[in-house]
Structure 1
Amino acid sequence: MKHIVFFGDSLTAGYGLKSPSTESLPALLAKKALEENKEFSYTNAGVSGDTSATALQRLPIILKEKIDIFVLGIGANDIIRGHTAQSMNTNIESIIQKIRISDHNTKMILLGMELPAWISHKTVSAYRESYKNLAKKYELPFLPFLLEGVIGNQMLNLPDLVHPNAAGYQIIAENVWPLLQALL
């Protein structure tokens, strides 16, 4: 059975959900895989508040596991906290390289993050380009914006309008599933 590590921040961890063990993105993808007879085991290695720098620091512990697929979704907190796109890019690239060095057979998926369209910020394109360029450089399956179609929608989010609720995660899982399904 394949083992998948979902590595990220609160969006991976399932922050604010009543039952992250059944409603988070990793749990929903595991359920979907089971329904299609593509069962896998997984580790939800999401830590609320993580930036690309703190994620890079905790990566060595995760790399002790046998990993068939590594789903990388980090950077939202870098953007929110105003870290530069360049520093985020450097950290995410280091994570990708360390995974490749650890086991060159591990497949990876990159989940992109950006500021939602309703927030204007002069560096929006730099973050977007960072993810796109890393996906291209390392030939990674790539979802440009993890929260596409969910962010800002009151019906799909917690009151902060940033963290998805259970219904929002259903949509996100549908968006991520084709990338994961292709690697299973």
Structure 2
Amino acid sequence: MRLHILTIPVRSLLIFCCFLACLNFTSCKDSVETKENSTEVSTDATSYNSETSTDTISKTILFFGDSLTAGYGLEDPDDAFPDLIQGKIDSLDLDYQIINAGLSGETTAGGKSRLEWVLEPDVAIFILELGANDGLRGVSVAETRENLQWMINKVKAEAHQAQIVLAGMQLPPNLGTEYTQDFKAIFPKLAEENDIKLIPFLLENVGGIASLNQNDGIHPNPKGHKIVANNVWSVLKPLLNK
């Protein structure tokens, strides 16, 4: 009788343990499948977000220049012409982001050494605004031209898809007729030889007009920068794509 009494609980215990084992296996299988499905959804979402972020990356317009580009003397940096052009771009809902790489006092020689630090291979449009400080310092026209050509070559080599725009500059007549004429001719000749766009004279309708310049008579005030922005915009706008 004892043997009979002891056998019944052992058999029940074994059956119960087998039931628990089956239940645990089923739960683990469901958990694994759920985790795999979750992983697949997460991967798809990551892929989608990656594609979306890639599509919304703005194209870059790099302004590379001196104090005129940097907005020297302005109380509000947003009054500088590159920032005003960004406003025009935004108003048209165009997907471009401007980088202002202007540096006060920069010469073409300084620009050569600095260019590698700011030039990125994915730049869409490169606007070169240098040379004025060369002229004011009496740097030889040949040297200025050589330096500008070097920078144009550098951009074509490092950012071969970039459209290049050269900003033309002129000097006050008191620096000598021959020198000022030779200096003025640098820019259209370089633009033609390199098949790049030209802003004929960056300070058109601003240079030499006291009411549009700061007290130094050289750097535009906010009103002057608005006109400069229009001078640049007339050349830049046709280069922009939706």
> TM-score scaled to structure 1, two decimals?
0.95
**58-67 vs 25-34, which deviates more?**
58-67
1:62 aligns with 2:135: no
Superposed displacement of residue 113, structure 1: 0.8
Q: How does 1:37-116 map to 2 (within 5 A)?
A: 37-64=93-120, 66-116=122-172
Query: What whole-Å deviation, never above 9, does each CA across 1:36-94 have from its counterpart, x for those lacking one?
Result: 22242121100000000001110001123631100110000000000011100000000
Supply the AA of the counterpart residue of 2:205: G
User: In angstroms, what is the RMSD of aligned CA positions?
Assistant: 1.3
Quote how far apart the aligned CAs of 1:118 are. Answer: 6.7
Q: 1:127 to 1:47 in 2, by over 3 A?
A: same
Partner SS, residue 85 of structure 2:
helix
State how far apart, in whole Å, the 1-side matches of 2:174 and 2:75 are: 28
C-alpha distance in structure 1 between counterparts of 2:95 and 2:132, whole Å: 29
Cα offset, 1:128, TM superposition:
1.4
CA shift, 1:99, in A, is 0.2
Bigger RCO (CA 8 Å, 6+ sep): 1
Amino acid at match of 2:131: G
Is the aligned partner of 1:175 residue 2:231? yes
2:187 counterpart SS class: helix
Map 1:87-166 onto structure 2 (within 5 A). Answer: 87-116=143-172, 120-166=176-222
Largest Rg, 1 or 2 = 2
Q: TM-score, structure 2 length as denominator?
A: 0.73
SS in 1 for 2:153: helix
Q: 1:147 to 1:119 in 2, by over 3 A?
A: farther
Cα distance in 1 between the residues matched to 2:130 and 2:195: 18
* Gap runs ≥5 in structure 2: 1-57
Partners in 2 of 1:69 and 1:128 — Cα distance? Answer: 23
Q: Deviations over 1:132-172 (max 9, x none)?
A: 11000111111121111101211100001110000000001
Q: Which has the higher helix share?
A: 2
Displaced runs of 4+ in structure 1, greater than 3 A? Answer: 116-121
Per the TM alignment, residue 178 of structure 1 is displaced from its structure 2 partner at its CA by 1.6
Stretches of structure 1 that go unaligned for 5 or more consecutive residues are: none
Question: Equivalents in 1 of 2:66, 2:146: separation in Å?
Answer: 17
Give % identity.
38
